[in-house]
Structure 1
Amino acid sequence: MYALRQIRPARRKRVATLTPGIVMRVGFALAALSFMTVHVLAEEAGQRLRLRGDVTARGDILTLGDLVEGASADLARRPLFRAPTLGASGTIQARRIAEALATLGLGEIETGGRQQVSVQRAARRVGPTEIEAAIKRVLETSYGLDQRNLAIRLDGENTILLAPVDLDGQATALDLTYDPRLKRVAALITLGERQASLRVSGQVQEIREVQILSRSLNRGDTLSAEDIATERRPRETTPADAQGSSVAVMGQVAQRSLSAGAILRSGDIAPADLVQRGEAVTIVFDTPGLNLSLRGQANENGRLGAAITVTNPVSKKILAATVIGPGRVSVSSPASVGRQASATFDTGR
């Protein structure tokens, strides 16, 4: 006997006929796949780029990342334009940036309606103050001049050394020459290993602090703190007897009329008189174990420490005395006071 096997009908192979509908479906599928691929690539390549506003360049080259937002890290490092020189500014038309991106195959850029981008090149500015400080340091170490008493007037206006912002450190004066007779100086101001340099020249002035009157004074006026200001003036233009800032003048009295803004000179003022002519004064003689005092009369004005004459009202003798305080004078010998005054002396005090 034979085993019976199931009879299975043979299947015909189906062959699809290429119809317009199939073609359209395939086209749509390919378009969708293409769109998705482009979208993914655009996202990966940092597409949907937006133009930045005004930018500040820190180096010589402007990269794609400097000018647009949304770029990937790799694309952001692509160099596009050369930056302006140090401290200068410039503009780039938006269309030129769009053309540069198109050459990289990055498509369109959102400009936000901007027609151009302004670019400012960042720079470190070493101004006159730093330049003068560098010159003063060398004048002190090489020529023995006290930099605290020096002023330097640089030739030219607004002398500035421009350097890259990452070039830090103190400015240095190299190749310095100084003429003590003409007081002229010249030097090369540098930063780093001469990575930025500027040659300068100027006039050196020795200066000193002097006291200046803030208001006009009449003879006999007493000076207060508000009447005096301290200024730094070139030494060659100030009088030799000008009062320096270290001289104490408060409480002194004008010896003549003085104008506001005038330099205060020796002899313009003097300490106030502690004794006035015709004033009753106390005449004292004081030694260990002996103290004598007597009322007398001053024959002249006198400030502290001044030598004047006084009259002993008892003996009517004129005595030489020294002003020791307000209304008080001292004599060198008790005998000079006169015997007639003995009744009026207080002794042993």
Structure 2
Amino acid sequence: MHALRQIPSVRPVRVATVSAATVGRVLLAVLAFSLLIGQVLAEEAPVLRLRGDVTARGDVLTLGDLVEGASAEVQRHPLFRAPALGATGTIQARRIADAVAALGLGEIETGGRVQVSVLRAARRVTQPEIEAALKRALETHHGLDARNLAVRLDGEAPVLLAPVTLDGPAAALDVSYDPRSRRIAALVTLGERQASLRVTGQVLEIREVAILGRALNRGEAVTAGDITVERRPREATPADAQGAQGNLAGQVAQRGLGAGAILRSGDLAPPDVVTRGEAVTIVFDAPGLNLSLRGVANESGRLGAAITVTNPVSKKILSAAVIGPGRVSVGPAPAARQASAALDLPTLQR
């Protein structure tokens, strides 16, 4: 007889229904795992990207100047020399990529750029600042008043290029000045002669002059808006040029004047307050005596001007000074002349 073998019992397979919640949990787990893996990979291999056009502030371009995404320690690694002060240069993108690869940092993303433009930053010391340094030296070492000086530098407008870290004022050293020819030569420097430029020029004495802003006809009055004050080299202005001092507004042109003209003594004068043929009051004023009568002006005159008037009664012509609109004075005068003047005024009334 054969022994009977036990028939193993077979457990039925349970099939579970997949729900939406289960699918969601699985997807979230996969997403979290992917993010974790991405973060680990990013930490291990940072993405390096080529920067755009850059401005260099020093002599050397570091990896951090040209590439972003590197660690702080790697960013300080020097790669290329910067252009000269104020100049612009270019670097091919492939050369930057080769330099980065040589450091074992892998590839960089260029963003399609073929080259990078590099501008070397510089401080530009221009002509006004150079002239100011020269004038300070002339005032300190030669006793000249810098406010009344100008310096005309030789050649084209000079420019001193210096590193941007040199932020102090420019100074003039080794100054040579000839008072007779007014020639000057100096070395303009920044810092401890870290940047320098030798210049030469002519020192000019400056004065303020009044400039007419519009054309005037003879007898036309000038207004405050017609006059501007400009600083001009003394050698290029007339000796009798009107300065900034004095009130010229209200005065009248003594001749035709063109726009832009430098006003000179005699170009303008106060307006006439007495006109020729005008009836005027003639005043004789002396200690203890005050007389007046009507007369006729033979000439026009401004305040203080000497004119002649006619006494209509005696028909005598008297010399008088204009003392106001329609008023002239024939005294006081020395004693001998006072008596003569009194005799010529028989009709004066007290």
In 1, the alpha carbon distance for the partners of 2:118 and 2:44 equals 28
In 2, the alpha carbon distance for the partners of 1:339 and 1:166 equals 87
List runs of 5+ in structure 1 lacking aligned partners.
1-35
1:119 aligns with 2:125: no
- Name the amino acid aligned to 2:347: A
Partner-residue secondary structure (3-state), 2:144: coil
Q: Report the alpha carbon displacement of residue 311 of structure 1 after superposing the two structures with TM.
A: 2.2
Q: CA RMSD in A?
A: 2.3
Q: Report the alpha carbon displacement of residue 277 of structure 1 after superposing the two structures with TM.
A: 1.5
Alignment check: 8 A CA contact 2:308 2:318 kept: yes
2:278 paired residue number? 279
Alignment check: 8 A CA contact 2:283 2:331 kept: no
1:142 paired residue number? 141
Alignment check: 8 A CA contact 2:89 2:118 kept: yes
1:321 aligns with 2:327: no
Partner-residue secondary structure (3-state), 1:117: strand
> What does residue range 169-184 of structure 1 map to in structure 2 within 5 Å?
169-184=168-183
Alignment check: 8 A CA contact 1:272 1:303 kept: yes
1:191 aligns with 2:195: no
Alignment check: 8 A CA contact 1:208 1:234 kept: yes
Q: Report the alpha carbon displacement of residue 150 of structure 1 after superposing the two structures with TM.
A: 1.4
In 2, the alpha carbon distance for the partners of 1:60 and 1:66 equals 12
Alignment check: 8 A CA contact 1:89 1:119 kept: yes
1:238 paired residue number? 237
In 1, the alpha carbon distance for the partners of 2:174 and 2:40 equals 61
Number of corresponding residues? 308
2:12 paired residue number? none
State the Cα deviation string for residues 40-73 of structure 1 (Å, max 9, x = none).
476267x201111110001111111111111111
1:24 paired residue number? none
Alignment check: 8 A CA contact 2:286 2:331 kept: no
In 1, the alpha carbon distance for the partners of 2:346 and 2:230 equals 58
1:71 aligns with 2:77: no
Alignment check: 8 A CA contact 1:222 1:254 kept: yes
- Name the amino acid aligned to 2:118: V
Q: Report the alpha carbon displacement of residue 143 of structure 1 after superposing the two structures with TM.
A: 1.7
Alignment check: 8 A CA contact 1:42 1:106 kept: no
Q: Report the alpha carbon displacement of residue 340 of structure 1 after superposing the two structures with TM.
A: 3.5
Alignment check: 8 A CA contact 2:175 2:187 kept: yes
Is 97-106 or 141-150 further displaced after alignment? 141-150
- Name the amino acid aligned to 1:216: A
2:43 paired residue number? 43
In 1, the alpha carbon distance for the partners of 2:345 and 2:119 equals 97
2:55 paired residue number? 56
Q: Report the alpha carbon displacement of residue 39 of structure 1 after superposing the two structures with TM.
A: 7.5
- Name the amino acid aligned to 1:340: P
- Name the amino acid aligned to 1:112: G
State the Cα deviation string for residues 206-241 of structure 1 (Å, max 9, x = none).
122222222222222222223323222221121111
Alignment check: 8 A CA contact 1:60 1:82 kept: yes
Q: Report the alpha carbon displacement of residue 331 of structure 1 after superposing the two structures with TM.
A: 2.6
Partner-residue secondary structure (3-state), 2:347: helix
1:167 paired residue number? 166
In 1, the alpha carbon distance for the partners of 2:65 and 2:324 equals 80
Alignment check: 8 A CA contact 1:93 1:117 kept: yes
TM-score (norm: length of structure 1) = 0.81
Alignment check: 8 A CA contact 1:44 1:72 kept: no
Alignment check: 8 A CA contact 1:83 1:121 kept: yes
Partner-residue secondary structure (3-state), 1:173: strand
Report the CA distance shift for 1:289/1:111 in structure 2 as closer, same or farther (over 3 A). farther
TM-score (norm: length of structure 2) = 0.81
1:309 paired residue number? 308
Q: Percent identity?
A: 74
Is 169-178 or 257-266 further displaced after alignment? 257-266
- Name the amino acid aligned to 1:341: T
2:259 paired residue number? 260
In 2, the alpha carbon distance for the partners of 1:115 and 1:257 equals 69
- Name the amino acid aligned to 2:295: G
